[in-house]
Amino acid sequence: MAYPPCVTASCRTVDPGTFCATSPEHVSRKGFKMGKLGYDDTEFITGQPWRVHDSKRPVPPVVTPGADGGGAPSDAVILFDGSDLNEWESCKEPGTDAGWKVESDFMEVVKGTGDIQTRKRFGDCQLHIEWATPEVVEGESQGRGNSGVFLLADENRSGYEIQVLDCYDNPTYADGSAGSIYGQYPPLVNACRKPGEWQSYDIIFETPIWDEGWIVSPAFVTVMHNGLLLHHRQECMGPTGHRSVNRYASPDPDVGALRLQDHGNPVRFRNVWMRPLFGYDGT
């Protein structure tokens, strides 16, 4: 059958006989003319205050993607762009400048200066961070290219760690491998590149929810390492720890810092950005 063509001047449909979704008034495949983008007489979606195709439902905000796979989108908070450590502070002395060095387009751990953390605090978030372990290999197991990415950290706890480690031809315990939720879950795969090569983590973190001192919903984390899935919305048992499982005992902060670890190895980081995450319809 032939579909009635869209009669709106702003129509950019390649095939005039198909559905046009580029103008406020257009004709559907069944020939029904909608007077606006959406409907106000359809049934309500279960559990939502919106109808199917609701014309009043808030439209998603426009976000311009980065120029490449790791480029920061337009709504990202830039935490390190290769120029300085203004967004970071010392964990040993909060409020003072971070003690790591900046060279070229990366920052590098300076042994003994301690962990560093962001001055800003975040809750649910999307994190992109790139890292590289030393090209000259020294040490083995946990002593080779060791650092960590901690989320929801504060002055009382280190938070939830995604392990950074040179695991290229370097055996270690599984739940301490690169990309592990440290001490809880090993990564699904070992996606490590060779020492000295740049690698990437893309992390989605959902903060735990507490109600009057009781845990209602645990933290969840999704991790991609060099584009490969390591964890898919994995439930965390509690804040991570060394040689122990830290169960949920006391309420986590609603927001916390992103912390990077000084484990004594000159690990490098670059292109660090964060997107605060919100629910549907901007909630």
**Is residue 16 very low, low, confident or very high in pLDDT (cuts 50, 70, 90)?**
very low
- 156: how many CB neighbours lie within 10 A of its CB? 9
**Is residue 35 very low, low, confident or very high in pLDDT (cuts 50, 70, 90)?**
low
pLDDT tens column, 236-275: 999 999 888 889 988 988 999 999 999 999 999 999 999 9
CATH of segment(s) 77-277: 2.60.120.560
Q: What is the 3-state secondary structure (H, E, C) of 250-281?
A: CCCCCCEEEEECCCCCCCEEEEEEEEECCCHH
Domain ranges of the chain: 1-59, 77-277
| Spatial distance between the Cα atoms of 58 and 79, rounded to a whole number of angstroms | 29
Tokens describing residue 198: 């740049």
pLDDT tens column, 209-223: 999 999 999 999 999
pLDDT(120) > 90 = yes
Q: Quick one: average pLDDT of 5-23?
A: 46
pLDDT tens column, 42-78: 999 898 999 989 988 988 888 888 777 789 999 999 9
